Structure 1
Amino acid sequence: MIRRTMMATMLALAGLIMPAAGPASAQGASRAYAVSGECGGRAATRVRMAPGYCLGRVWQRAGGVGPRMPRGLLELPDGDWLVTDLGGWEAGRGALWRMSWAEGGAVRWTRLMRGLSMPHTVAAGPDGRIYVAEMSRIFAVDPARPEAAVSVVEGLPDNRLHENRHPLSSFVFDGDGSLLINVGAPSDRCLDDAGAPRRDARGQCAEAGEQAMVRRYPYLGGGRWSPQWTPFATGLRNSVALARHASGAIYQAENSVDLTTPDRPFDEINRLVAGADYGWPYCTDMGAALPGWSARQARCGERAAPVSLLPPHAAPLALLYYDGEMFPELRGRMLVSWHGYRRAAGRVVAIETGPDGAPLTDTRARYALYPRGSLPYPAEAPAPRAVVLTPGWDARAAVHPRGSPAGMAVARDGSIWIADDRAGAILRIARD
C-alpha cells in the first residue's frame, strides 16, 4: 500500500495522473448528460430506461483530461478500469487510460500509453495477461509497467479510413487459446468510384483477398502466437462485435453494407463456423443478392445465413453474455450495443439465448424507431427476442444526447458499464 501511494505521488508530481474533468454541463448541451438523483451510487442521467433499471453517469469529458473517444472497458482486480481511447480516425492519436478513484469517489485518469493507432478491444486473456487490439497489432500490457508492452500478433492490415473502410481490430480467445481476430473489409461493397463492382478475372470481388474475415492465429504456448494464420470465417464486412459462449460457440454481430434506403439492409448476428462464408459483398439479409451482383454470381444459397437479423444500421459494436449478480433476469442473455446514428440505433439490448448461446428469435416481429413508431422485420426472418434496456436514449435538448454505446463490460458487482464515444462518457446501468 505504501509503495502504491508513493508511486501515485510520484506520477502526480510528473503530471501523469490527472483528476477528472469538471461537470458535463460545461460541454455543449447536445453532448452533455444532465443528471438528477442517484443511480446505484452514481449520478443518474435522465435517459428513460426499462422498468427496474437506471443509467448512471460515471464520468463525462468536459474539456479536461481523459479519453477523447472511449471504446473498450476492462475492470482490474483492484477496482480500477482500463479504457481504450480511439482518439480519432487517424493513426497515432489513440491512448490507453487507467480510470481510478480520487477522494470522495471522483474519477482520476492516468494515461498509460499514447500514440496508439485506433485501439479498440481490451480483454484479459486465459493466461491472466491483458491484451489490447490496435489497428495493425495485438499487444500484451501490464498496467503497472506499460512501457514493457509487447506485440503478440503483428502485420494486421494497416487499414486507414477512406482508403480501407474498416480499420478496427477486435479479438476473442478460442478454447484452445487461439486468437480469433477481425480483419474488416477494405470497402463498403467492393465498388469502384463509378459504383460498379470491382471484379477479378473470375467475375468475383477483387478486394476480398486477406480481408473481410476473422482470422485464426494458433496458440504456441508461453504467451506466444504463430504468425501463420488461417481464415476462420470469411465474407464478413466488419466483425468488431465478437463473443465466445461458454459452450464454445463463436458469435459475431455484423454491420451490414450502406444502401440509400434507411430500412435496408438489416444488420445480423452470425454463429461463426470454421470454413464458412457469410456473404460479403454479395448477399445480405437472409440471402438476397446485393445490387451489382447477379444471383448466379452471388450464390447466396451456398453461403451461411444469419441466426438472427438486427435493425438496419443498428451498427452493433459490442457483444457479450451477461454473467453478473445484479440482474438475475439477464443471466445468460446476449448484450449488444447498437451504436449507429440512424433512427433504430442508440440502444443497448438484452437478447434471450438458448443453451449454445444462440439468440432466441421470433418471426413477424418489429423494431422500434426514434422518436417513435416501429417497422417490421421481413415477415419470415428470425428477429431477436429481446428487451431494450435503454428505450428512451434518443436526443433530448439540454437533457442528454442520442446514445452512442460502443464498448461494454460487466463489472464484478453485476452492473453494466458502457463507453459512449461520441459524447466522451463512461456510463453505468444499475438497479433503479
Structure 2
Amino acid sequence: MRGSIVAGVAGLTVLAAAFTQTLGAQARTQAATRIYAVHGDCGGHPRVEAGMAPGLCLGRVWQWSATTPGPRMPRTLFRLADDDWLVADLGSWDAGRGAIWRMRIGADGAVGWTRLLGGLSMPHTMARGPDGRIYVAEMSRIFVFDPARPEATTAAVSDLPDNRLHENRHPLSAFVFDGDGALLVNVGAPSDRCVDARGRPNRDARGQCAERAGQAMVRRYAYLGNGRWSREWTPYATGLRNSVAMVRHGSGAIYQAENSVDLNTPERPFDEINRLKPGADYGWPYCTDMATALPGWTAAEARCGRRQSPVSLLPPHAAPLDMLYYEGAMFPELRGRMLMSWHGHRRAAGRIVAIEVDAEGAPLTDRPARYAIYPRGSMPYPPDAPAPRARVLTPGWNAVRGTRPQGSPVGMAVAGDGAIWVADDRAAAVLRIARE
C-alpha cells in the first residue's frame, strides 16, 4: 500500500512537472508571439517589420523582456524632452500595481529606465495643467506630479469612484483641460450595457438605467486658480460609456471617442466620435450607431431621437484609446489632422489613423464608406452614416507569427522633430513612426 502511495506521489510529481513545463512553454510561446522582429533602420531605431503607409516606417525604441527593466503595460507617453519621457504603466488590471517611469534615450539609442512612482492604481492620462505642472489620472483621483520630486504628490481631484475592474467595467480615469482651466474628467459606465446576466435591463424606479447616477459621463470640475479645482462637480456630458480618448481642439471644441458595447458580433455596433456639448446626452446604454436601440431596451425606452448623435462612426470594436491633433514638422501632409489609436483586438483594430478635419476640428466624413479589416478586405459602414475621411498610417499591423504581434496602440505623443511615438501595452513596447 505504501509503495502504491509513493508511486502515486511520484506520478503526481511527474504530472506537476510536466504541467509546469507546459505552462512555461505556453508562456514562452505567448511571449514570442508578442516580439517585434526588426530589420534595418527607421530614423535611428531598429525597423519593425510592419506594413506602413508609403513614406513611413515604424521603429522599435524599446520592448520589455525578462532581462530588460521597464513598464509591463505602457499606456501613455509624456514628452519632457526628445531624449526624456514619462511613461504611465498600468502594471495590470488590478489596484496598486501601476507605476510612472522615466525613460531616457542615450546618444547611442540605448534606453534607460527609472521608476519614479509605484503602487498606483491604473494610472493613465498625463498632461500639463494651466499652472504648468504635470497632472496624472489614477483610478480614483487626479494628482500633481513633479519628476524632480516624485514622492511629493498632491491630489487635485480626489473623489472619483474607487472602482475595480471586476466590479466596474471601465475603471480608468482620463481628463482634458478646458480653455478656462476646468478639468473634464471621464467616469466610465459601471457595466457594458446596464443589463443583468439574462439580458434584462437594470432599471430604477423610473424605468431607466439604474447605473447612470454619477457615472457614464464626463464630469466638470471648475478651476479656482493657483492649481486648485472645486470639490463640487457638475455633469458636463452624460450617456457616455467610456471617455478614455478625449481631445480639445484649438477652436475650443471637445471631442470624445466612444468605445461602444460588446455585442457578440464583429459587425456591430460601431464605435463613435462625439463632439461634447455641455448638458448633452449621448445615449448609453439605450442607443448606438446613429439611432439603433440596444438589445434589452425597446425603441420607446431608448428614445434615440432625443440623443445627441455622433459626428462620425468608427469601425466596430476599433476601441479608440487616444486622440490628438498633429502639429509636427516631420509630416506636413498630416498637419492639423486628428490622430487616433485603435487598440482593440478584432479585425478592424491595430491601427493608427489620421483623420481630416474642418476648422473646428470635427472629422470630415463620407457617405457611403468602407473600413479595412485584417487580414485583408473591407466592410461597409451603414449607407447613410458619416464615416471619417482618414488615412491609415499602419495598414499592415496585423499579427504575423515570428514577425510581429497585432498592434495594440494606446497613447501617442509627438516629439520635437515631429515623429509620432506610440505605446503598445500588450507587447510592452515603445514605438516611433518616422519618415522613411
Q: Contact conserved, 1:29 with 1:399, CA < 8 A, in 2?
A: no
Aligned to 1:39: 42
Match of 2:32 among 5, 25, 29: 29
Aligned to 1:368: 372
CA distance in 2, matches of 1:70, 1:77: 18
Q: Contact conserved, 2:272 with 2:313, CA < 8 A, in 1?
A: yes
Match of 2:54 among 51, 56, 72: 51
**1:43-89 CA-partner distances (Å, limit 9, x unpaired):** 11011100011000000001131000000101104730000000000
Larger radius of gyration: 2
User: Does 1:378 pair with 2:359?
Assistant: no
1:69-80 to structure 2, matched below 5 A, reads 69-77=73-81, 79-80=83-84
- Measured after TM superposition, the shift of residue 27 of structure 1 is 8.4
1:247-262 to structure 2, matched below 5 A, reads 247-262=251-266
Aligned to 2:167: 163
CA distance in 1, matches of 2:393, 2:115: 32
1:159-308 to structure 2, matched below 5 A, reads 159-308=163-312
**1:82-133 CA-partner distances (Å, limit 9, x unpaired):** 0000000000000000001246220000000000000011111122110100
The CA RMSD measured in Å over matched residues stands at 1.2
Give the SS at the match of 2:301: helix
Using structure 2 for the length normalisation, give the TM-score. 0.92
CA distance in 1, matches of 2:30, 2:257: 33
**1:289-312 CA-partner distances (Å, limit 9, x unpaired):** 111111111111001000000000
Give the SS at the match of 1:297: helix
- Measured after TM superposition, the shift of residue 184 of structure 1 is 0.2
Aligned to 2:22: none
Match of 1:330 among 330, 334, 349: 334
CA distance in 2, matches of 1:114, 1:177: 28
Q: Give identity over the alignment, percent.
A: 73
CA distance in 1, matches of 2:349, 2:50: 15
CA distance in 2, matches of 1:237, 1:218: 23
CA distance in 2, matches of 1:50, 1:103: 28
Structure 1, unmatched stretches of 5+, are 1-24
- Measured after TM superposition, the shift of residue 205 of structure 1 is 0.3
The one-letter amino acid of 1:214's match is V
CA distance in 2, matches of 1:78, 1:392: 27
User: Does 1:116 pair with 2:105?
Assistant: no
The one-letter amino acid of 2:178's match is D
Using structure 1 for the length normalisation, give the TM-score. 0.93
User: Does 1:314 pair with 2:318?
Assistant: yes
**1:342-388 CA-partner distances (Å, limit 9, x unpaired):** 00000000000000000000011000010011100000100000000
Aligned to 2:14: none
CA distance in 2, matches of 1:427, 1:80: 15
CA distance in 2, matches of 1:165, 1:220: 32
CA distance in 2, matches of 1:114, 1:145: 14
Q: Contact conserved, 1:190 with 1:207, CA < 8 A, in 2?
A: yes
CA distance in 2, matches of 1:127, 1:82: 19
Aligned to 1:421: 425
User: Does 1:147 pair with 2:151?
Assistant: yes
Give the SS at the match of 2:108: helix
Give the SS at the match of 1:301: helix
Aligned to 2:18: none
Structure 2, unmatched stretches of 5+, are 1-27
The one-letter amino acid of 2:212's match is A
CA distance in 1, matches of 2:185, 2:427: 28
